DNA sequence: CTGAAAGCGCTAACAA
DNA sequence: TTGTTAGCGCTTTCAG
């Protein structure tokens, strides 16, 4: 157990102030005598001293802690976001405390309460539900707050978002141009407003296709998990009509589930299938297929979040209430896209009845 | 800004104790009069009260916080570990604070200092370097501590580890049985003691092969990143002699890099290549290859860590100083393994000079 | 150059 | 059934 300032003072015979001064390296500024200083330093070197931040925080009413609440840290997007935020925080002498809520409103609620009672200096939330009553204590405290990635209807707080609508529109368009005349958009977590934006973008792209050559359908349900991905493909197979030539997945997890299901059905992934997905992972490169992936710019998102937070903490203008960050399109299997689209559907028709145009 | 207990007491005309009692729901036990209670509750309902944990912690010398220090949270293994730990913590009324150190000893050091000065009640560390001097303050504080996943030579603290040696031996053996007579073990981060264990296991498996039919080489360097994976394959290609029939990768990142490099060399992943890797990701299933993956049991690891931590916090026996948790082998493309091994090397020889046995 | 004192918000005796 | 008191360890005036 290391000593407290009081103990050091008592045991060296100096006062609290003197000890504090040398401990803080301000001995010079206040011209503490070299001897005093040396005695204290020697004592500390021997017995050790670690500052008690709890006491300090209580006194200063500042914790130097930023709270970060995410729905799911095993989602690589949030993990990267966290990493980027942490770097910024560290540079500013702040500590980032992250909690993962498993997309559970109740847990989110408790996490927020917890952070607030611990006196965080700022809060960044990727919410899993609309903020209800628990917004009140935040408001009262005028706690710096920024929302990231998702914003539910009616929420007034400042939010930093990727351009979900436009990403979806662009990727859909590219898939169509690449020969996928019929695309199934497989969505987990349709309650998520960002997913809803993507669905709107998907539909916009279809509507814009000259002559309505692009066909599409949205299959959405449940959570954002591999199992749901499997289920969505099962539902797709159960549908009447032709198999789509492209699948667009709302996340990597959904994609993984979908590919799993497709492979166990066909024994392999049909080479002509055009694959689109939100979130990028390097392993996608091993697929022989044409792949388009939307990658969010976690670095820029984190920077924007942090700048905004810092501004609030310093009482400055925090900027507009919505800030949209562009995404990047990753293109794999480029060649496939440049050649003419295959005339036949990418997936052979299953046992279900088949129509051909 | 919500009220403090003192303010509530003053403004309702009751004392601190009375207010505290009703705030804690102990009104009944101490038989606070219904009227008193109602007045206070009404006041709180109107003005709000959130307990100041900082003050509480200072008084009680207990923070209900567990610190978790990891080298890299974007590594899914650590992310899952964190999630599992968090669940256990929450159930016990504890908060898990995680910091990611990017495998940097200096950052790890600071993170530890930070957590200690903030008065965490316990610490779990997946260290990126041997613990040096900074072990001292911990020791002095007798802070509950458990090491996870890695333990450097000479470290006396309690550690929970996966069975890295045995995993490596088993997976290597299976790869050999599956027809990969010549295996390259591509390793990132060879300074990591767990990786060293794996290398030992790999070599043990080779040595055990009847008649020394299994050949192998270890190519190791740098960090655990995709780029290093690419580099390792480049080094492999630069070597004289036959191409290996199997590659074993020390992590998913290395695998991703390796596959990327192989694909850009051959335009595809040779179907006969036997792939082994530590860490599992569902997307591996889409590979047509024979794949063996070692998956660590994050759940069990987290449970063991937490139990051990709790025991220490309660002053009980914390168990043995090393605890080994078994891993699971994931087998994909089983069929390929059952058929006879192809006679020719999986990868065609590159431009480099070629030997054949 | 050094010391004394007040107080951050809470808890936990102890009194009344 | 309610009130009083003494700190937890630190920072920050204000006085010597």
Each residue's pLDDT tens digit, A292-323: 999 999 999 999 999 999 999 998 888 899 99
CB within 8 Å: B140 and A260 = no
CA–CA separation, A300 vs B170, rounded Å?
Answer: 43
Contact B313, B163 (CB under 8 A): no
pLDDT at A355 over 60: no
CA–CA separation, B328 vs B303, rounded Å?
Answer: 17
Q: Record the pTM.
A: 0.88
Concatenating the DSSP letter of every residue in A103-129 gives T-HHHHHHHHHHHHHTT-SEEEE--SS
| Residue at minimum CA to C1' distance from nucleotide C13 | B17
> In this structure, what token pair is assigned to residue A223?
């959570």
Mean pLDDT of A108-135: 88
Q: Quote the pLDDT of residue A255.
A: 97
By percentage, how much of chain A surpasses pLDDT 90? 60
Q: Quote the pLDDT of residue B118.
A: 93
**Residue range B123-174, pLDDT digits in tens:** 999 999 998 655 556 666 789 999 999 999 888 899 999 999 999 999 999 9
Q: Quote the pLDDT of residue A169.
A: 97
pLDDT at A89 over 70: yes
Contact B355, B242 (CB under 8 A): yes
CB-based contacts of A264: which residues, under 8 Å, 6+ apart?
none
Helix (H) or strand (E) holding B89: helix B76-91
Mean pLDDT of A132-152: 78
CA–CA separation, B167 vs B164, rounded Å?
Answer: 5
In 3D space, the residue among A199, A137, A196, A202 whose CA is nearest the CA of residue A175 turns out to be A202
Tokens 């549908």 sit on residue: A239
Tell me whether residue B345 is exposed, middle or buried, using C-beta atoms within 10 angstroms of its C-beta: 0 to 12, 13 to 18, 19 or more: buried
Mean pLDDT of A231-258: 92
CB within 8 Å: B82 and A95 = no
Helix (H) or strand (E) holding B278: strand B274-278
| Residue at minimum CA to C1' distance from nucleotide D13 | A17
Nucleotide nearest to A61 (CA to C1'): C8
Nearest to A117 among B50, B97, B98 (CB): B50
Class of domain A63-162+299-325: alpha beta
3-state DSSP call for residue A171? helix
Helix (H) or strand (E) holding B85: helix B76-91
The reply to whether the CB atom of residue B309 sits less than 7 A from any atom in nucleic acid chain D is no
The reply to whether the CB atom of residue B41 sits less than 7 A from any atom in nucleic acid chain D is no
Q: Quote the pLDDT of residue B357.
A: 24
Q: Quote the pLDDT of residue A346.
A: 37
Mean pLDDT of A281-293: 90
CA–CA separation, A347 vs A262, rounded Å?
Answer: 9
Length of chain B as a residue count:
357
DSSP-assigned letter for residue B29: T
Q: Per residue, what are the HEC states of B335-349?
A: HHHHCCCCCCCCCCC
Torsion-angle region of B103 (φ positive above 0: left; ψ -120 to 50: alpha; else: beta): left
In 3D space, the residue among A46, A216, A196, A71 whose CA is nearest the CA of residue A129 turns out to be A71
Q: Quote the pLDDT of residue A35.
A: 83
CB within 8 Å: B54 and A57 = yes
Instruction: Tell which strand D nucleotides have any atom below 7 Å from a protein Cβ.
Output: 1-5, 7-14
Nearest to B54 among A2, A63, A107 (CB): A63
Q: Quote the pLDDT of residue B338.
A: 38
Contact A85, A300 (CB under 8 A): no
| Phi/psi of residue A62, nearest 5 degrees | -155, 135
| Phi/psi of residue B103, nearest 5 degrees | 60, 25
Q: Quote the pLDDT of residue B341.
A: 34
CA distance A313 to chain B (A): 16
> In this structure, what token pair is assigned to residue A44?
């500390």
CB-based contacts of B45: which residues, under 8 Å, 6+ apart?
none
Radius of gyration in angstroms for the set of CA atoms belonging to chain A, rounded to a whole number: 27
Is it true that A63-162+299-325 and A164-296+327-356 share their CATH fold? Answer: yes
Architecture of domain A164-296+327-356: 3-Layer(aba) Sandwich (3.40)
Contact A265, A350 (CB under 8 A): yes
The reply to whether the CB atom of residue A29 sits less than 7 A from any atom in nucleic acid chain C is no
CA–CA separation, B232 vs B111, rounded Å?
Answer: 32
CA dist list (Å): A203 to A190, A207, A210, A240, A328: 15, 6, 14, 21, 20
DSSP-assigned letter for residue B305: H
The reply to whether the CB atom of residue A58 sits less than 7 A from any atom in nucleic acid chain C is yes
Mean model confidence pLDDT for chain A: 87
Confidence of residue A109 (pLDDT cuts 50, 70, 90): very high
CA–CA separation, B298 vs B69, rounded Å?
Answer: 16
Mean pLDDT of A96-117: 92
pLDDT at A135 over 80: no
CA–CA separation, A333 vs A351, rounded Å?
Answer: 30
CA–CA separation, A87 vs A10, rounded Å?
Answer: 40
CA dist list (Å): B124 to A118, A131, B85, B115, B306: 21, 33, 10, 11, 9
Contact A273, A301 (CB under 8 A): no
CA distance A110 to chain B (A): 10
CA–CA separation, A263 vs B90, rounded Å?
Answer: 38
Q: In chain B, which residues have pLDDT < 70? A: 1, 28-31, 132-140, 210-214, 334-357
> Å from A207 (CA) to D8 (C1')?
67
Q: Quote the pLDDT of residue B231.
A: 97
Q: Could you give the angle at which helices A5-12 and A16-23 cross, rounded to 10 degrees?
A: 110
Tell me whether residue B164 is exposed, middle or buried, using C-beta atoms within 10 angstroms of its C-beta: 0 to 12, 13 to 18, 19 or more: buried
CA–CA separation, A232 vs B318, rounded Å?
Answer: 46
CB within 8 Å: A57 and B52 = no
> Å from B16 (CA) to D2 (C1')?
9
CA–CA separation, A16 vs A9, rounded Å?
Answer: 5
**Residue range A40-82, pLDDT digits in tens:** 888 888 888 889 999 999 999 999 999 999 999 888 999 999 9
Domain ranges of chain B: 5-50, 63-162+299-325, 164-296+327-356
> In this structure, what token pair is assigned to residue A285?
């490169």
Beta bridge pairs of residue B68 = B98, B124
> Å from A50 (CA) to D6 (C1')?
25
Nearest to A79 among B73, B255, B268 (CB): B73
């Amino acid at each position: 157990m290391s000593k407290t300032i009081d103990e050091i003072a008592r045991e060296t015979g100096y006062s609290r102030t003197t000890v504090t001064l040398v401990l803080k390296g301000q001995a010079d500024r206040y011209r503490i005598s070299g001897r005093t200083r040396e005695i204290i330093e020697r004592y500390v070197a021997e017995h050790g001293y670690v500052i008690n931040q709890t006491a300090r925080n209580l006194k200063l009413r500042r914790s130097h802690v930023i709270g970060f609440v995410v729905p799911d840290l095993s989602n690589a997007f949030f993990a990267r976001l966290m990493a980027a935020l942490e770097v910024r925080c560290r540079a500013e002498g702040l500590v980032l405390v992250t909690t993962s809520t498993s997309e559970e409103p109740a847990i989110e609620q408790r996490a927020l309460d917890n952070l607030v009672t611990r006196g965080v200096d700022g809060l960044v939330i990727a919410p899993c539900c609309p903020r209800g009553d628990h917004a009140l204590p935040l408001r009262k405290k005028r706690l710096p707050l920024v929302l990231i990635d998702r914003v539910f209807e009616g929420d007034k707080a400042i939010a930093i978002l990727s351009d979900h609508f436009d990403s979806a529109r662009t990727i859909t368009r590219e898939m169509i141009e690449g020969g996928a005349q019929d695309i199934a958009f497989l969505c987990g977590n349709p309650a998520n407003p960002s997913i809803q934006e993507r669905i709107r973008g998907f539909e916009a792209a279809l509507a814009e296709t000259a002559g309505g050559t692009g066909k599409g359908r949205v299959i959405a349900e449940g959570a954002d998990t591999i199992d749901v991905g499997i289920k969505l493909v099962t539902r797709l197979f159960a549908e009447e009509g032709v198999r789509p030539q492209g699948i667009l997945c709302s996340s990597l997890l959904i994609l993984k589930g979908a590919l799993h299901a497709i492979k166990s059905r066909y024994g392999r992934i049909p080479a002509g299938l055009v694959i689109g997905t939100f979130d990028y992972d390097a392993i996608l490169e091993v697929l022989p297929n044409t792949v388009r992936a939307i990658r969010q710019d976690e670095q820029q998102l984190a920077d924007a979040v942090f700048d905004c937070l810092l501004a609030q903490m310093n009482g400055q203008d925090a900027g507009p209430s919505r800030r949209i960050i562009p995404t990047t399109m990753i293109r794999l299997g480029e060649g496939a896209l440049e050649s003419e689209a295959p005339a036949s559907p990418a997936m052979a028709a299953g046992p279900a009845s088949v129509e051909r145009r």
